[in-house]
């Protein structure tokens, strides 16, 4: 009869081991430790740089089937949420596990909105940033600084404290993002308008000028809701892994979220939408696409906004955004980069290199084009990603904190450096050798 075990024979010793297979296809890495060549041996380890085949947690939040192009939050398909939900309702679902009823939704919305203001000292703190500071750098610093404003947040094992910090951060992050934007423009900061929706208020804090009341365009307000729903969580991506890993040493969630934002900043993650737009601008015209494709195939360039660690099929979020772009352009006017993007996608998806590498557009391929059409400068794109991802980070962090199996994240290494050497005084060390060249290349 079939057994849920893996039989392993260690050919060094001839010993046989039975390793349990859990959850339909998972072995515990620590099960390898019993496999030893000698009694004083450490035991076998798995080596997995960049965690390409290692599950770091058991999670109930987001499900992805990368081969089929499926994304679900708490079981709900992303397509249904993007069509029918709004960001705050989706954030509730992600954080709490269920869709709210009317009463719970109203309370949640109110509880987030009462936290949209920030301490006046935060404003002064932000004024200290250089005039040309990148807003994502400002966000890393300012979210980290919230840690000093809310010392009660250290009480991470207290459910009520976790709830409060979650509402606070989801409430405040649009305000911090908007202040960062206004800072780069030299414009006065706009205070939150809690009569508006979550995204309407963000648009107001970003774009309000001298009018008494900012009236968000409903199409753009809804487009932002959809973009935020699509970006709310994505299981164990780089920034979520940072959130869990940093959070595992138990600092407060603001210091932890600052680390996640820093991880999101990079061009291979949340910075990819900015990089994708720069690439499309660089290509410049539909006629120049074949040349770009050639460079990518030669390994000289990467198609930004293409490829994904998990999706080996069309990213379902990119599909939704490609369709939504047309609605946005009806209000904003057409972003000419869309023609280059669509043609680039068409050519790439017929090309053997992209087919064999399973490279498809990811969410960042179209989000930047929409953000640009809506009037956002490119360096705000990753900030617009960080705002909705906050609900995902907080949900993943809380799940980690509650999980009795989790401990401080501390990977092992395979040491490949020098064996024991003895120190010699500076004056008696040999003259520069080849080894010193290696030293100068070390950093
Ligand atoms: N353009 C061209 N070739 C690519 C691309 C790309 N965008 N992405 C991967 N490849 C190729 C690699 O050259 C490699 O080819 P090889 O096996 O012949 O050497 C192969 O595909 C595998 O690439 P890896 O880098 O090993 O794949 P990995 O899973 O580590 O990377 C990543 C995933 C980082 C997203 C990568 O596809 C990439 O750099 N894409 C561009 C940046 C981007 O769009 N990032 C956004 C990701 S989505 C998000 O964060 C929301």
From 185-189, 238-242, 424-428, the region with the lowest mean pLDDT: 424-428
Query: Is residue 74 domain-resident?
Result: yes
The reported pLDDT for the residue numbered 272 is: 86
Evaluate if residue 87 carries a pLDDT over 80: yes
Residue with CA nearest ligand 1 atom 39: 268
Shared domain check, 286 and 142 = yes
Tell me if 77 is assigned to some domain: yes
Are 39 and 91 part of one and the same domain? no
**350 CA distance to ligand 1 middle (Å):** 18
Cβ–Cβ under 8 Å, residues 115 and 168: yes
Q: Whose CA is nearest to atom 41 of ligand 1?
A: 304
How many CA atoms are closer than 13 Å to the CA of 381, on its beta-carbon side? 27
**Residue nearest to ligand 1 atom 40, measured at CA:** 307
Q: Which of 277, 297, 307 to mutate to test the pocket of ligand 1 (most atoms within 8 A of CB)?
A: 307
Please give the average per-residue pLDDT across 331-335, as a whole number.
93
364 lines ligand 1 (CB under 6 A): yes
Contact 228, 202 (CB under 8 A): no
Q: For residues 86 and 9, state if they share a domain.
A: no
Q: Is residue 412 part of a domain?
A: no
Pair (261, 187) in one structural domain: yes
- Atom 44 of ligand 1 has which residue's CA nearest to it? 305
Same domain (yes/no): 2, 96: no
Residue 249 has pLDDT above 80, yes or no: yes
Q: What is the pLDDT of residues 199-228, one digit of tens each?
A: 999 999 999 999 999 999 999 999 999 999
Are 26 and 63 contained in the same domain? Answer: no
* Token duo for residue 88: 């705050």
pLDDT digits (tens, 9 = 90+) for 357-378: 999 999 989 999 999 999 999 9
Q: What is the pLDDT of residues 311-332, one digit of tens each?
A: 999 999 999 999 999 999 999 9
Ligand 1 centroid to 275 CA: how many Å?
13
127-152: average pLDDT = 97
Residue 80 sits in the same domain as residue 167: yes
Return the pLDDT at 18. 97
Average pLDDT for the chain = 95
- 364 burial level (CB within 10 Å; 0-12, 13-18, 19+): buried
Read off the CATH number of the domain in which 343 is found. 1.10.580.10
Write out the residue range of the structural domain in which residue 25 sits.
Answer: 1-47
Q: Is residue 342 part of a domain?
A: yes
- Contact yes or no for 66/310 (Cβ under 8 A): yes
In a domain, 124, yes or no: yes
| The pLDDT of residue 440 is above 90 | no
Cα 326 to ligand 1 centre (Å): 27
Q: Tell me: pLDDT of 80 over 70.
A: yes
Active site residues: 269, 308, 364
Closest ligand 1 atom number to CA of residue 357: 21
Residue 265's Cβ-count burial label (10 Å; 0-12, 13-18, 19+) is buried
Measured between alpha carbons, how far is residue 85 from residues 62, 68, 276, 381 in Å? Answer: 16, 23, 28, 22
Q: What is the mean pLDDT of residues 21-37?
A: 96
Region 153-181 average pLDDT: 98
- With a 6 Å cutoff on the Cβ, whether 321 touches ligand 1 is no
Instruction: Answer yes or no: is pLDDT of 442 > 90.
Output: no
- 441 has pLDDT over 70: no
Give the confidence band of 435 by pLDDT, cuts at 50, 70, 90: low
Q: What percent of the chain has pLDDT over 90?
A: 92
pTM of the model: 0.93
Percent of the chain scored above 70 by pLDDT? 97
Is the pLDDT reported for residue 273 higher than 90?
no
Tokens standing for 133?
Answer: 């500071």
Give burial (CB, 10 Å; 0-12/13-18/19+) of 168. Answer: buried
Q: Rounded to an integer, what distance in angstroms lies between the CA atom of residue 391 and that of residue 366?
A: 22
Q: 304 C-alpha vs ligand 1 centroid, how far in Å?
A: 8
Please tell me the residue having the least CA distance from ligand 1 atom 34: 268
* 359 touches ligand 1 (CB under 6 Å): yes
Is it the case that residue 439 has pLDDT exceeding 80? no
296 occurs within a structural domain? yes
User: Please, which residues bridge with residue 72 across strands?
Assistant: 63, 77
- pLDDT tens digits, one per residue of 173-201: 999 999 999 999 999 999 999 999 999 99
Helix (H, G, I), strand (E, B) or coil at 106: helix
Q: Give whole-number Cα distances, 170 to 134, 163, 387, in Å.
A: 21, 11, 8
pLDDT class of 424 with cuts at 50, 70, 90: very high
**pLDDT tier at 1, thresholds 50, 70, 90:** confident
Q: Is 64 in the pocket of ligand 1 (CB under 6 A)?
A: no
7: which residues sit within 8 A by CB, 6+ positions away? 16, 17, 18, 19
Q: Is 154 in the pocket of ligand 1 (CB under 6 A)?
A: no
């Amino acid at each position: 009869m079939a057994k849920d075990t893996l039989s392993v024979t260690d050919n060094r010793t001839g010993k046989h081991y039975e390793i349990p297979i859990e959850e339909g296809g998972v072995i515990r890495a620590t099960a390898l430790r019993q496999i030893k060549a000698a009694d004083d041996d450490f035991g076998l380890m798995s080596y997995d740089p960049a965690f390409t085949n290692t599950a770091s947690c058991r999670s109930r939040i987001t499900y992805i089937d990368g081969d089929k192009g499926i994304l679900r939050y708490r079981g709900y398909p992303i397509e249904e949420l993007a069509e029918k939900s709004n960001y705050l309702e989706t954030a509730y679902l992600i954080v709490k596990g269920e869709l709210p009823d009317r009463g719970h939704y109203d309370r949640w919305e109110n509880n987030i909105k009462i936290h949209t203001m920030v301490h006046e000292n935060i404003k002064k703190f932000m004024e200290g940033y250089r005039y040309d500071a990148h807003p994502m750098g400002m966000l890393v610093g300012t979210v980290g600084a919230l840690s000093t404003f809310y010392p009660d947040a250290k009480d991470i094992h207290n459910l009520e404290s976790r709830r409060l910090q979650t509402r606070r951060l989801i409430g405040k992050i649009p305000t911090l993002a908007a202040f960062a934007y206004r800072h780069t423009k030299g414009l006065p900061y706009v205070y939150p308008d809690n009569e508006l929706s979550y995204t309407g208020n963000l648009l107001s804090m970003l774009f309000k000028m001298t009018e008494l009341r900012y009236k968000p365009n409903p199409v753009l307000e809804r487009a932002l809701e959809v973009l935020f729903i699509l970006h709310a969580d994505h299981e164990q991506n780089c920034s979520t892994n940072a959130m869990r890993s940093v959070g595992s040493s138990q600092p407060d969630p603001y210091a932890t979220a600052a680390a996640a934002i820093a991880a999101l900043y990079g061009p291979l993650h949340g910075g990819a939408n900015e990089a994708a737009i720069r690439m499309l601008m660089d290509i410049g015209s539909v006629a120049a696409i074949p040349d770009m494709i050639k460079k990518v195939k030669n390994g000289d360039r990467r198609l930004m906004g293409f490829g994904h660690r998990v999706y080996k099929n069309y990213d379902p979020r990119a599909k939704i955004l490609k369709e939504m772009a047309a609605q946005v352009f009806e209000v904003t006017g057409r972003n000419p980069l869309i023609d280059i993007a669509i043609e680039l996608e068409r050519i790439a998806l017929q090309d053997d290199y992209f087919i064999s590498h399973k490279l498809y557009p990811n969410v960042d391929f179209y989000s930047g084009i929409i953000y640009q059409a809506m009037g956002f400068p490119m360096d705000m794109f990753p900030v617009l990603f960080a705002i909705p991802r906050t609900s995902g980070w907080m949900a993943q962090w809380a799940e980690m904190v509650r999980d009795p199996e989790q401990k401080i994240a501390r990977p092992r290494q395979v040491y490949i450096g020098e064996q024991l050497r003895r120190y010699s005084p500076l004056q008696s060390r040999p003259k520069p050798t080849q080894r010193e060249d290696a030293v100068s290349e070390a950093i």
